[in-house]
Amino acid sequence: MGEPMQRILVVDDETFYIDVLVNLLQEDYRVSIAKNGESALQRAFGSTPPDLILLDVMMPDLDGYEVCRRLKEDDRTVNIPVIFLTVKSEVVDEIRGFEAGAVDYITKPMSPPIVMSRVKNHLLLTHSRKVLEEQTRTLEQQVKERTLEIMRTQDVAIYCMASLAETRDNETGYHISRTQHYVRILSDYLQSHEDFCDYLTRDTIELLFKSAPLHDIGKVGVPDRVLQKPGKLNAEEWQQMKCHPQIGYDALSRAENELGSSSFLQVAKELVLTHHEKWDGSGYPDGLKGADIPISGRLMALADVYDALISKRVYKEAFSHEHAVELILKEKGHHFDPAVVDAFEQLQDDFKLIADKFKG
């Protein structure tokens, strides 16, 4: 079977012109007629709208300009090409028609070859536009699917790398899940804060959430005897432990040099390097102080410490949520950014909910 015949609606209050157009078009198209504006609108808004409308300008009640305007205001008919039929040929009349939404003019008395040519050309243009729109939708869907696939692959790679680092530290993936959710709720809360709003856009918050699991990836470069020592670290061991932010940063920098930079890598490097810096300048590896510490590092610092406090480690038992909150509040302005601590104080119940949800 071939393609179905395209539909043309002829609108004119004069039987003579209707007969001429029907006889001219019916061999190649499915032609329907309307003798006034209201009838034309009913047919156009019906279950089988036309592919093109030949519309007389001068009609009683609703003239062609008003009919065309209503067609172009409705989503169902806005893309149907309208060709005006008129005895008027003044420039001002044509301008008015084009402003109403018409695509062309055919002047009465009509030339059959011109009618056939205009109809054919505008139907072809409409068909080409529909094909292009469909191709665009298909391409957009393919791009969306490919982007999601890349994002899933990235997430899997991040999670695997982070999990390996945590396993060496006698931790589980639950620490990863907890800390990234802590970072997210802190970021969401502080998004309206005047000191954080410029940085904490929706895109950046998503990057923080995705990069948070990598915060301790540098621990892969720390010896097991240090990571898993049940007692207090000596001076040499502590220096080895303090190297892990730089080790993680250097690893991500090498990946960036080999594979190219991205907004994700920029955020991840910053967070990995600075999450052990302290507000009073006593942290490591660079002893940054106050607002010199990137926001990513400040957020990760509190999230990481809270989870360390409530978790059992080889060198300590788990603290209660209440004790952990008490210790963090005491570190306001010392270990942690005061604004981040204030946010944590307001969100402490949410922190506990996250800790309970992702309990190892």
CATH number at residue 180: 1.10.3210.10
Mark which of 88, 119, 138 sits at the end of a domain: 138
pTM beyond 0.85: no
Domain boundary residue, one of 122, 138, 154: 138
Q: Verify that 122 and 208 share a domain, yes or no.
A: no
Parallel/antiparallel/unpaired status of strands 82-86 and 52-56: parallel
With a cut of 80, say whether residue 90 has pLDDT above it.
no
pLDDT (tens digit per residue) in 136-151: 999 999 998 887 777 6
Instruction: Average the pLDDT over each of 1-5, 145-149, 234-238, 345-349 and give the range with the smallest value.
Output: 1-5
Judge if 203 and 270 occupy the same domain: yes
In a domain, 149, yes or no: no
Structure-token pair, residue 106: 């055919």
- Find the domain containing 284 and state its range: 169-357
Residues 105 and 225 placed together within one structural domain of the fold: no
What pLDDT does 168 receive?
61
- Encoding tokens for residue 338? 């005061």
Same domain? 16 vs 129? yes
Q: State yes or no: pLDDT of 243 exceeds 60.
A: yes
In this structure, is residue 156 part of a structural domain?
no
Q: Tell me: pLDDT of 167 over 80.
A: no
pLDDT band at 173 (very low <50, low <70, confident <90, very high): low
82 and 193 share a domain?
no
Structure tokens at 82: 């309208």
222 within some domain? yes
Q: What angle do CA 161, 252, 258 make, to 5 degrees?
A: 110
- Rounded to a whole number of angstroms, the CA Rg of the chain reads 35
In a domain, 159, yes or no: no
- Backbone phi and psi for residue 178, each to the nearest 5 degrees, phi listed first: -65, -50
Q: In terms of domains, do 183 and 311 share one?
A: yes
Whether residue 192 sits in one domain with residue 326: yes
Q: Are 137 and 85 in contact (CB under 8 A)?
A: no
Whether 76 and 176 share a structural domain? no
Cβ neighbours, 10 Å, residue 225? 9
pLDDT in tens, 180-209: 999 999 999 999 999 999 999 999 999 999
Residue 9 DSSP class: E
Which of residues 121, 138, 155 is at a domain's end? 138
Would residue 154 count as lying in a domain? no
Q: Please check whether residues 181 and 48 belong to one and the same domain.
A: no
